[in-house]
Amino acid sequence: MDLSTKFDGLVLNNPLMPAAGPLVGDHEKMLYLKDAGCGAIVSKTISTKDAHIPKPCIYGDRDYVMNSELWSEFPKEMWINTFLPEFIKGNDGRPLIISVGYTKQDMEVLIPLLDPFADAFEVSTHYVGTDLSLVAETVSAIRSRTKKPIYMKISPHIPHPELFAKTIKEHGANGVVAINSLGPTLKIDIASRQIRYGNDKGFVWTSGPVIKHLALATVYTIKQAEPSLTVIGVGGIASADDVIEFLLAGASAVQMLSAALLRGKELYAKIIADLPKALEKYGFNSVQAVIDTQLTNPVHYKASVPYLIPEKCIKCNLCVKVCPYFAIEMKDQITFDANKCFECGLCVVKCPTKAIVMSDGGY
C-alpha cells in the first residue's frame, strides 16, 4: 500500500506528522517522533522571546485537552545552536517544518535565522487577531526572506476561512494548516471555586477529538474556495479513519498532537500501522487515491419513518428516551408513530445494536 503524499516539493512517506506543541519541544522529542514513523516533523512554535508558561498547564479529559501552554519555552538561540542542528544530525531526510510565530516583526528576525534548517515554515496566527491585512503583511515579510513553502495556520476565531485563504495565497503562501486550538475557553474547579490551568486572564485553549468536525469543515471550506492551495489538516485526529476523513475533506497531509497526549505517544506508530488496513477497508489503493476523490453531497429533504429489526433489539429504550419528537414508544416492541416522526434519523445512529433502520435518506 502506497502511503506517500507529495506537495510543494515535499515528499512524505505517509501523511501523518505531529502538530506543534509539547511533544516536539526539543530535538530529542522530534527524533522520537521521527523514529515513530511520522512522515514529516513539525517543531514547537519558535518566537523571538521564550514563553513564560503557567504551571500546571495541560488538562486532559476523555476527548479533549485544555491547555495554557504557549510557544516554545526556550529562546530562539537554543533552537538555532542546539535543537535544530541535533535534529538534522539524527534525521533521515524526512521534511522538517519549522513552526514560527507571530507578527511581521517576529518574522523579519526569525526567518533568516531558521531558513537554513527548514524544509518549510508553518506560521501560527493565534495571537494576531482577525485583521487579514496583518496576516497579509506577515506572509509578505516571510516570502521576501525565504523560498521555502509557507503554511499559515488558521485559528477557529477567523470568521471567513475562505477569505483568509485567498489573502495568504495572494501574498505568497503555499497553503493553510487548519485548524489551531479553539479558544479562549475556561476550566473551572467547583470544589475549590477556582479557575484551573488558566493563563493570567484565566483562559485555556481546547483541542483534541472534540474539535474534529469544526476542523474538517474548515479544511473543506478552504479547499473548495482555493483548490490550488495545499491544506494540512489538524484538529481532532485520533485514528486512521480520521486521517482518511481529513484527506477526503481536502487535506494533503495531517497533524496530530492532543490525542497522543490523551492516549499515549505510541498512537503515532499505531495510526501509521493501521492506515493500510483502513484504506483497503474503504476501497482505496493509496493515500493519493483518497486525496484525488471528490466528496459528494447527496442532500435529502424526504426520508422515511424508521423501522425495527426485532431480533436485533435489546429493549434498552434508548431510542424512546432520545427521540426529540416523542414519536417512539415501547409497546410489545419498539413502535414508531408516523404522524409524529420527523424522519430526523437520531434513533438510527443512537441505537447500540443497529436495530433501527431507514430505507432512504442516507441510512
**How does pLDDT run across 152-177, given as a tens digit for each residue?**
999 998 989 999 999 999 999 999 99
Confidence of residue 363 (pLDDT cuts 50, 70, 90): low
* Of the residues 291, 321, 338, the one at which a domain ends: 291
pLDDT band at 360; cut points 50, 70, 90: low
Identify whether 119 is part of a domain.
yes
Q: Produce one character per residue of 184-221: b if its CB has 16 or more CB atoms within 10 Å, e if not.
A: eeebeeeeeeeeebbbeeebbbbbbbbbbeebbebbbb
**81/222 same-domain check:** yes
DSSP H stretches of helix in the chain: 27-35, 76-78, 84-90, 104-114, 132-143, 161-170, 212-225, 240-249, 258-263, 267-281, 287-291, 318-322, 346-350
Given a cut of 70, whether residue 271 has pLDDT beyond it is: yes
Say if residue 28's pLDDT is above 70.
yes
Same domain? For 204 and 117 the reply is yes
Is the pLDDT assigned to residue 361 strictly greater than 70?
A: no
pLDDT of res. 193: 96
What pLDDT does residue 305 have? 94
Q: Count up the domains in the chain and report the number.
A: 2
Residue 279, CB-side half-sphere exposure with 13 Å CA sphere: 23
In this structure, is residue 362 part of a structural domain?
A: no
Structural domain span for residue 80: 5-291
Residue at 299 is within a domain: no
* Higher pLDDT, residue 301 or 339: 339
Say which CATH number the domain at 241 has. Answer: 3.20.20.70
If pLDDT is split at 50, 70 and 90, which confidence band does 227 have?
Answer: very high
Tell me if 60 is assigned to some domain: yes
Model confidence, pTM: 0.94
Domain co-membership, 78 together with 121: yes
Does 297 fall in a domain? no
pLDDT at 315 over 80: yes
Instruction: Judge if 352 and 203 occupy the same domain.
Output: no
The pLDDT, as a whole number, for residue 302 is 86
State whether 278 and 329 are in the same domain.
Answer: no
* Proportion of the chain above pLDDT 70, given as a percent: 99
Give the CATH number of the domain where residue 320 resides: 3.30.70.20
CA dihedral defined by 110, 114, 115, 118, rounded to 10 degrees?
-130
Using N-to-C axis directions, what is the helix angle for 212-225 and 240-249, rounded to 10°?
30
Cα–Cα dist 215/193, whole Å: 32
Q: Is residue 298 part of a domain?
A: no
Mean pLDDT (whole number) for 232-236: 98
Q: Is 32 exposed, middle or buried (0-12, 13-18, 19+ CB in 10 A)?
A: middle
Averaged pLDDT for residues 179-195: 95
Computed over every residue of the chain, the mean pLDDT equals 95
Are residue 277 and residue 319 in the same domain, yes or no?
no
Question: Residue 266 — φ and ψ, nearest 5°?
Answer: -70, -10
Same domain, 204 and 285: yes
* Grid cell at residue 304: 422515511
Residue 362 predicted with pLDDT over 80? no
Q: Do residue 250 and residue 346 come from a single domain? A: no
